[in-house]
Structure 1
């Protein structure tokens, strides 16, 4: 597979702009599960496919290389912590970050460690801070963010630090690269455009903020399309910014709900999902006007991807959706076994939280009790992993610990 920017490489959401748009035929109807592979931990991470292998990490502290044809493990690499980033493949190496505070470079043919780069340590902002920054490789340099508040540039073959840039908060977004510029947000509420060779600021954009989230924390990643950068914030906004100047083009507020998913843009539309309001939105990419929305009734944290005229994404209810881009009409839905087993117990007839979980939310005295409700939801086999599509198959991870391959 060839990636825009580096030959024989592949990245989270398919390219270094994090477009999420794949030059693949859409899967208009679902034949079924080609295979699934069980790990020993939840999967928040997202898969990538390179040649004949699926690469993905797990909360069980292992990074897996799996045969895409039959789901058999080729090798697995033990790390020092949970793996919550997607990998990038370049230079015959798999690069991924880990909760132990290291960036790893592992040989894709053997699973042997070539080098690892140590940051000043990772951090978890709150129980909903599910993802780490996924490394992106361009022109021999690996770029990623860290819980130590820094954005790093590291030599792809040696692991030697080239530059670092300090922000005012945790950086768990994945960098997007366009026109020799790195675009990334931080939990400090600022969105940064940095020169990729030097790490120097090109411009910085401040989110609006909200009464309940005054910093306008940026948890999710941006995507770049046609000279515009799109990203969401915990201040309930989706932003569209001019990539060259950093000036705002428009913002769209969905009151009371974080925008964490990475926007996906195609055919003049930008797609994103909200968390608490539990909808998938399609917006006009130029004006920010809403075209359609689909109620999902429960949170979406994983991002969507597109192949041809179909939008694909998973939901915390354990269901995976394929929608028509232009109408939002459901083309097919896949449900994990865990979802089938627990749906009626924990959710109501519409798919919203059932009375037992709502009562637990009402009675929650602190953030730990509140987050326990989400632990219960994850027993449904929640899909917060961003999918990857390749050659008629679609791959994603689930909190039931399984990696799924659908065809």
Structure 2
């Protein structure tokens, strides 16, 4: 018996070693934490990387610049509102929006203020309005939306206003600049194409709307191909419009779920996550035909990114997924420590939302707090070689090695 146990033990160790080697060769090794930084509250914005620093904003009203390899604070800048806008690096500046109603341009090396621009004020649409519009630059102009319902263009060097355009609702979507057009959606349910130089309206598209969400609010950024602009809406649709005319090319309805996440385009493919139906899709960008569906157990609000030959995206369940873009197979995941600790409070042994939990019920705000307590990942991962950076709803900012 001792000989048999010894032989079996050696065989088991050999089998485990072979399995581990095959696992590694297949590129399925799990990501590891390089460092972890704690801000005082939620990090919903997507980071930016420049040289040896990684930049991001937090709900604690601070904007941070950390060493990307050590996580050590290089500098931080305090505003009077939550910073749930993605930072933009341009020249010697890092530019971002704050819930105090201002857009700030700082020296990216030391965090000193270069200029600030005050809108007519910010506001939050509802409990799921997690983001601010992020600034983008083209032709020496900075473009961004605001809670005052306007889209702005200001001079990138001075911060002086060039033009503004008033929509019928809060604009927290990030503008997309393409073919001298500013392309952006509003909470009024309309998608706008404006002349980037003058701010005049070129075309406007109204979403279809739905019984419970008649406005068809547009919450986040769009993506564009050579001839089309694509975006999601709260009326459960993802839309593809002619870039030139704004007429519809196709739309696909995800019955029962908002489409908040901005689509990621790659050649003829579109990758996007859903809200309440808890899915991640690969579609054809030309016709919206479904290539594959990855079932999840929670929402996806952030966009996906490419990391080498994998898709990487975050989920409200506190997990980051690494997925084969051809098949939808999950190669690896990373789960926040808070998600591990609190997972059973929301999910059952089958990994489904517990039957006694109703995110849309009378106590929806309390349920939302419990979901966010998992360390929900609402930001889009930023990839730098074999490292990936992202923030979570508990205020942690991670650097993972893949």
TM-score normalized by structure 1? 0.90
Q: What is the CA deviation profile of residues 20-71 of structure 1, one whole-angstrom value per residue up to 9, with x for unaligned ones?
A: xxxxxxx864441111111111111111111111000001110000000100
Structure 1 gap segments, 5+ residues each: 1-26
- Contact 1:145 / 1:151 at 8 angstroms: preserved in 2? yes
Q: What is the CA deviation profile of residues 223-275 of structure 1, one whole-angstrom value per residue up to 9, with x for unaligned ones?
A: 11232111000000000111112111100000110000000011311111110
Residue 238 of structure 2 corresponds to 238
Tell me the secondary structure at the aligned position of residue 103 of structure 1: strand
- Contact 1:264 / 1:306 at 8 angstroms: preserved in 2? no
Q: What is the CA deviation profile of residues 291-349 of structure 1, one whole-angstrom value per residue up to 9, with x for unaligned ones?
A: 11111111111111124432110001000001111110001100000011111222112
- Contact 2:228 / 2:241 at 8 angstroms: preserved in 1? yes
Tell me the secondary structure at the aligned position of residue 214 of structure 1: coil
- Counterpart-to-counterpart distance in 2, 1:193 and 1:252: 21
Residue 60 of structure 2 corresponds to 60
Q: Which of 375, 381, 402 is the aligned partner of 2:375? A: 381
Tell me the secondary structure at the aligned position of residue 357 of structure 2: helix
- Counterpart-to-counterpart distance in 2, 1:63 and 1:300: 24
- Contact 1:30 / 1:406 at 8 angstroms: preserved in 2? no
Residue 405 of structure 1 corresponds to 399
- Contact 2:31 / 2:334 at 8 angstroms: preserved in 1? no
Structure 2 gap segments, 5+ residues each: 1-26
- Counterpart-to-counterpart distance in 1, 2:271 and 2:42: 26
- Counterpart-to-counterpart distance in 2, 1:259 and 1:210: 13
Structure 1 residue 184: Cα displacement: 0.3
How many residue pairs end up in the alignment? 375
Structure 1 residue 361: Cα displacement: 4.9
Residue 278 of structure 1 corresponds to 278
- Counterpart-to-counterpart distance in 2, 1:350 and 1:221: 34
Task: Report matched runs for 1:2-401 at 5 Å.
Answer: 29-358=29-358, 361-362=360-361, 364=362, 369-401=363-395
Residue 4 of structure 1 corresponds to none
- Counterpart-to-counterpart distance in 1, 2:259 and 2:360: 21
- Counterpart-to-counterpart distance in 1, 2:177 and 2:348: 42
- Counterpart-to-counterpart distance in 2, 1:130 and 1:353: 22
Residue 23 of structure 1 corresponds to none
- Counterpart-to-counterpart distance in 2, 1:270 and 1:47: 22
- Counterpart-to-counterpart distance in 2, 1:71 and 1:227: 41
Residue 13 of structure 2 corresponds to none
- Contact 1:135 / 1:144 at 8 angstroms: preserved in 2? yes
- Contact 2:31 / 2:332 at 8 angstroms: preserved in 1? no
- Contact 2:307 / 2:385 at 8 angstroms: preserved in 1? no
- Contact 2:389 / 2:399 at 8 angstroms: preserved in 1? yes
Higher Rg of the two aligned structures: 2
- Counterpart-to-counterpart distance in 1, 2:291 and 2:180: 32
Query: Which 4+ runs in 1 deviate beyond 4 A?
Result: none
- Counterpart-to-counterpart distance in 1, 2:297 and 2:289: 22
- Counterpart-to-counterpart distance in 1, 2:197 and 2:351: 48
RMSD, matched Cα: 1.3
Q: Which has the higher contact order (CA 8 A, sep 6+)?
A: 1
